[in-house]
Amino acid sequence: MSEQTKRSAGVPGSEDVFAVPGEPIADQAYLSSGADWDQIIESQRERADEIIVVNLGPQHPSTHGVMRLVLEMDGENVMSCRPGIGFLHTGIEKNSEYRTWTQGSTFFTRMNYVGGIHNEAAYSLAVDKLLDITDDIPRRGNQLRVLAMETNRIASHLTAVGANCLELGATSPQEVGLRERERILEFTEALTGLRMNNAYIRPGGVQNDMPDDGIDLLDELIKQLRINVPEIALFMLDNPIFKARTQHIGVLDLSTCMMLGMTGPVLRSTGYPWDLRKTQPYLGYDHYDFDVCTETSCDAYGRFKIRCDEMMQSLRILEQVRDELVESQGEPFRVQDPDLEWPSDLTVGADGQGNSNEHIKHIMGESMEALIHHFKKVTEGFKVPAGQVYVAIEGPAGELGAHLVSDGGTRPYRAHMRDPGFNHVQALPIMSEGAMLSDLLMALASIDPVMGGVDR
């Protein structure tokens, strides 16, 4: 029995625990637990060259820190880069198969905890399409969806550019980003009842309308963001140190991006204006006046600049949505179908939850049938016709897609998300091999992978 066959047959000392019996081993298998480090070191012990193996990460439980990079280094030069993922795998897709279609929003928003509202939107739009109610969503429901998504896009980009600066040791831009993101989270809490993991966008519309002072809060948010968000670009884009560390770093040209399925700012940094809000409009984005931001540098600097520019374009959209929301005030914000809507309007209080007093009075003291209907709606949910669908939206990092399969029941038969970060991580070896270790960190920061979305 050859050594490779022994390793795949479960013989003690085998490095690849994932190979089926008899399968030839093509290369080293890396474990997300990191418990394989002794074997990696042993395999390198007999080398006669100066190459060393470095285990980089994982460092912290959020964003791109929860990623393992196994590097082969010649001095400070990266000769080989192998990404290791799986540290934040939560089984969300499988769990959603045991929950109702409405409860799916609560699961999917937790995949990408920085841009979670976009996950809710992709999922809900897919359910809408399976139900064939896309054209029945009230205009105010779509306006509130766009409002939530564009504020969330700015918050996600603030996290991305702030972390990018922090990788260089530039703390001030990160603090500006956190300060402005806090404003957005406060507005989001006023709108949805929660700062994060909102489950605000639901099949058929949104969970609740704006608060009474919602327009005033939005006006103040737009005013403050217009003044303060440009600070980050002013800090960094003309800074000679920043330019030296990001220009011509992490280069991915158009052909490479197309080959690897790269989207979002990474793709647009090649000069290709691919933005699903323009190329495949949804939620009425074709009626909003905004520009698709592109650069031609194909590098980390271009991706940083695109995110800075996109935040200002999102503010343009928010200003237009604000005027529409004033016009549609008082209109329904979700499908008016008793079989699809949630059983009562929420009165969002200080605790961020709670049914309206009128509904509770009705089901608890006036109508046994209403109580039964409420119970069945919450516990069983609604049925979705059999079929499958794929719906893609423009998330903060790129194409965010939801593939749903229904067998005609009250729960998904299969639910899968196409997270752009999963595709972007596979480009790290191409961007970093042959470069310096310090350049690898900037290449990593420029693709903005959120590992909760990558691992799911």
What does the pLDDT look like over 173-217, one tens digit per residue? Answer: 888 888 989 999 999 888 888 888 888 888 888 888 888 888 999
Query: Which of 30-34, 105-109, 359-363 holds the top average pLDDT?
Result: 105-109
Whole-angstrom Cα distance, residue 324 to residue 331?
11
Q: Which of 67, 84, 101 is the last residue of a domain?
A: 84
Q: pLDDT class for 371, splitting at 50, 70, 90? A: confident
Whole-angstrom Cα distance, residue 448 to residue 425?
9
Q: Does the pLDDT value for residue 421 go beyond 60? A: yes
User: Which pLDDT belongs to residue 96?
Assistant: 86
- 390, 374: one domain: no
Instruction: Return the percentage of the chain with pLDDT > 70, whole number.
Output: 86
**pLDDT tens by residue, 214-227:** 899 999 999 999 99
Q: DSSP secondary-structure letter at 33?
A: T
Q: DSSP secondary-structure letter at 194?
A: -
Whole-angstrom Cα distance, residue 54 to residue 15?
18
- 104, 204: one domain: yes
- 73, 210: one domain: no
Q: Does the pLDDT value for residue 243 go beyond 50? A: yes
Whole-angstrom Cα distance, residue 299 to residue 164?
13
Q: Which of 84, 112, 132 is the last residue of a domain?
A: 84
Q: How many domains does the chain have?
A: 3
- 117, 146: one domain: yes
User: Which pLDDT belongs to residue 7?
Assistant: 46
- 360, 412: one domain: no
Mean pLDDT calculated for residue range 131-143:
89
- 284, 294: one domain: yes
Which residues does residue 403 pair with via DSSP β-bridges, in sequence order?
A: 390, 416
- 134, 157: one domain: yes
| Residue with the larger pLDDT of the pair 251 and 33 | 251
State the pTM of this model. 0.84
**pLDDT tens by residue, 34-55:** 566 676 666 666 666 677 887 7
Q: pLDDT class for 8, splitting at 50, 70, 90? A: very low
Structure tokens at 377: 């709606």
- 273, 308: one domain: yes
Picking from 404, 406, 417, 415, the residue whose alpha carbon sits closest to that of residue 383 is 406
Lowest-confidence segment of 76-85, 239-248, 276-285 by average pLDDT: 76-85
Domain range spanning residue 145?
Answer: 92-337+382-455
- 329, 411: one domain: yes
Provide, for the chain, the percentages of residues in helix, strand and coil under a 3-state DSSP scheme, each rounded to the nearest 5: 50, 10, 40
